[in-house]
Amino acid sequence: MVNKVAASGLITLKLEEYWPEQALVSFDLKDYLFMELILKEKDFREAIKDHDFSQYEGKTLLVFCSADAIIPAWAYMLVAASAAPYAADIYQGTEEEYLRDHYRRVIRQFDPADYAGQRIVVKGCGERDVPPAAYLEVTSILRPVAKSIMFGEPCSTVPVYKQPLKRG
C-alpha cells in the first residue's frame, strides 16, 4: 500500500506549534477604577503595592482595561515596574491582541527560501484557536515563493493559492 499523502511532497505547516510557550494571564485595570470610570492615583498606587505580583512568575502578563475609561500612561508603567521582576513578558493589550502580534513576529522570522517552489498545507484544526491574522500573515509571506498553498489536512484541503504556469 502506498501512502499518497507522504509521497505527495506536501509540507504541512502547523501554526499551532508556534503558540506562546508561557502561560498568558490577564491584568484588567477595570478592577482598580473608582466606579469603573476613574483611576485615582493614591488608591491605585496602594492597590498595586498590595498586589501579589509573584503569581505571574514565568508567565506573560497582559495588561489592559476592559472599561471605557481613560487610563494614564503612568498606570501601565506602575504595573510594569511591579510585575517585571516576576513576569516573563509584559504586554499592553488583550489576549487576542497579544496572539495576533505574537504570530506576526514568529511568522515574519520564517525564511521564505525554505518554502520556495513547495506545495504547502497550512493545517487548520487543532487544540488551540490560532488567530485568523496568523493565517493571513503566513499566506502573505509564503505566496511569493510557494508553488501552492492549501488549508486543511493533507487528505482534504481547500486550495488557497496556486502559482501560475510559466509560459515560455
Q: Are residues 127 and 112 in the same domain?
A: yes
Q: Are residues 49 and 14 in the same domain?
A: no
Q: Are residues 83 and 31 in the same domain?
A: yes
Residue 74 located in a structural domain: yes
Q: Are residues 43 and 58 in the same domain?
A: yes
Residue 12 located in a structural domain: yes
Tally the domains of the chain. Answer: 2
Q: Please, what is the Cα angle at 151 between 123 and 108, to 5 degrees?
A: 70
Point out which residues pair with 158 in neighbouring strands: 151
Q: Please, what is the Cα angle at 89 between 87 and 91, to 5 degrees?
A: 115
Domain boundary among 87, 113, 141: 87
pLDDT tens over the chain, length 168 residues: 434 444 457 999 999 999 999 999 999 999 999 888 899 999 999 999 999 999 999 999 999 999 999 999 999 999 999 999 999 999 999 999 999 999 999 999 999 999 999 999 999 878 899 999 999 999 999 999 999 999 998 778 899 999 887 776
Q: Please give the sequence-ordered ranges of beta strands (E in DSSP) within the chain, or none if there are none.
A: 10-13, 24-28, 60-64, 89-92, 119-122, 148-153, 156-162
**Rounded to two decimals, what is the model's pTM?**
0.85
Tell me the residue range of the domain where 145 lies: 4-20+101-162
